[in-house]
Amino acid sequence: MRISIFGLGYVGCVSAACLCESGHEVWGIDVDQTKVDFLLDGKSPIVEKDLPELIAKHRAAGQLNATTSIEDAVANTEVALICVGTPSLPSGALNTEYARRVCEQIGLAIRKLDRTFTVVVRSTLLPGTTRRELLPILEKSSGKTAGQGFQLGYNPEFLREGTAVADFFAPPKTVVGAENHATAELISALYAGLPGEFHVAKIEEAELVKYADNVFHAVKVVFGNEIGAIAKSVGVDSHRVMDIFCSDTKLNLSPYYLKPGFAFGGSCLPKDVRALSACARQQNLSTPMLYSLMGSNEEHVKRSAKALQGFGKKRLGVLGLAFKAGTDDLRESPVVELVETLLGKGFDIKIYDRNVSLARLMGANKRFIETAIPHLAELLVSNPNELASHSEVVLVTYRDEEFYPVLKSLSSEQIVYDLARIPVADNIHAEYHGVCW
């Protein structure tokens, strides 16, 4: 394919050289004449392993060209990759100025084409930026409509500086955000033959994936360092601890606990987060991430309470009171906290939880239910259908097949508020809302 690459920084230079290596023909464009001259001289404008050799090789072969003329580059290519910088503004917000400007310039060049052209954004952008900010600029300056006169996609970059060339040829994944199949196919073809999973997504999903990745990497570093600081303060080898931690690919390094849902609770997580935070404080350590966990969890409960109040209905049915399916343990159940908050706001509540109803009659939790939450025990109903006929809003707190027929029986006048991403959401008549989807 003939590709123009806008912005010859880390991402642009590495993409240019590696796409040449994959057999494509590339035009590099930058506003900085020095960077363009470097490429024209067959040299790398940045320090990056293996890059000088690739640039020299493909420049000599005539596969790699460079210019400051956007019009020439667009005229000579079928697809543009936007790799300009998106730095922070002094406020911390994202500066999209360079991306907007380059789109305006590309649009003016597209205006002169009598064929279709594809614009692919690779710069890191907050979800919605490509569609809300860049698409209108491209349409205005080109005088053409997205999806007809030109195609638009978003394709985040996952390279790490220092190993960028190796990362290009062995990416952790390839993510293609596009509005239609043809554009997704075209962008995917740029990376044909590369290993790793390919994901075709909506443009906004592809934009947010990049942030989820980078922020998670930051969370991992901070987490490792806070555990390390605590380990050192109590005379434990942090690397030995984290080697064992990382060997657990069932609960630790796995998708488990990573899917958005409701707040954490139960008899272990809150207690242990509090204890380790107290331990850090005793050691005079500042571990802000650890300290922030209980507060963040609390905010999630408050958000849900607010959303439920926002429906303006008072008759609420709660499917599931324990902190997760298959248990009668109500200790530190965030659902208990949510229900108590709503009771305080005047909600008329009925609760169905088979395990809790059984525990109320017998078992270790009988005493807890009678002494700690007698006001909630009174709200328990023995049949989920009774709850359905009572409720204007039904709150589902965990996934349980027993709940699904009841949910399907609800009418379009009723509302379902889902904390668990139930798999039957598409098959219910009631108005559906998820806690964070």
Residue numbers at the binding site for ligand NAD (CB under 6 A): 6-12, 29-32, 35, 83-86, 98, 101-102, 105, 123-124, 157, 159, 161
Say how far apart CA 125 and CA 138 lie, in whole Å. 16
- Which lies closer to ligand NAD via its Cβ, residue 48 or residue 418? 48
State the CB neighbour count (10 A cutoff) for residue 39. Answer: 28
Smallest gap from Cβ 65 to ligand NAD, in A, equals: 15
Lay out the sheet containing 117-121: strands in order across.
64-67, 25-29, 2-6, 79-82, 117-121, 150-154, 173-178, 197-201
Query: Which residue shows structure tokens 């907007």?
Result: 100
Smallest gap from Cβ 68 to ligand NAD, in A, equals: 8
Cα of first residue to Cα of last residue in the chain, in angstroms, is 38
Query: Which residue shows structure tokens 């640039």?
Result: 55
Smallest gap from Cβ 76 to ligand NAD, in A, equals: 15
Contacts of residue 173, Cβ cutoff 8 Å, sequence gap at least 6: 158, 196, 197, 198, 199
Contacts of residue 242, Cβ cutoff 8 Å, sequence gap at least 6: 224, 227, 228
Task: List Cα–Cα distances, 408 to 226, 232, 398, 429, in angstroms.
Answer: 46, 54, 16, 7
Task: List Cα–Cα distances, 253 to 220, 236, 243, in angstroms.
Answer: 11, 22, 12
The alpha carbons of the chain give a radius of gyration, in whole angstroms, of 28
- Which lies closer to ligand NAD via its Cβ, residue 30 or residue 418? 30
- Which lies closer to ligand NAD via its Cβ, residue 9 or residue 266? 9
- Which lies closer to ligand NAD via its Cβ, residue 36 or residue 318? 36
Smallest gap from Cβ 156 to ligand NAD, in A, equals: 7
State the CB neighbour count (10 A cutoff) for residue 50. Answer: 18
Whether the Cβ atoms of residue 6 and residue 99 lie closer than 8 Å to each other: no
For 222, half-sphere exposure in the C-beta direction (CA atoms, 13 angstrom radius) is 13
- Out of 18, 83, 268, 436, the active site residue is 268
- Which lies closer to ligand NAD via its Cβ, residue 216 or residue 437? 216
Say how far apart CA 159 and CA 46 lie, in whole Å. 15
Smallest gap from Cβ 162 to ligand NAD, in A, equals: 9
Residues linked to residue 178 through DSSP beta bridges, in sequence order: 153
- Which lies closer to ligand NAD via its Cβ, residue 105 or residue 414? 105
Smallest gap from Cβ 98 to ligand NAD, in A, equals: 4
Q: Is 20 a catalytic residue?
A: no
- Which lies closer to ligand NAD via its Cβ, residue 83 or residue 393? 83
Smallest gap from Cβ 140 to ligand NAD, in A, equals: 16
Smallest gap from Cβ 295 to ligand NAD, in A, equals: 29
Question: Which residue has the closest beta carbon to ligand NAD?
Answer: 9
- Which lies closer to ligand NAD via its Cβ, residue 51 or residue 83? 83
Tell me which residues are annotated as active site. Answer: 268
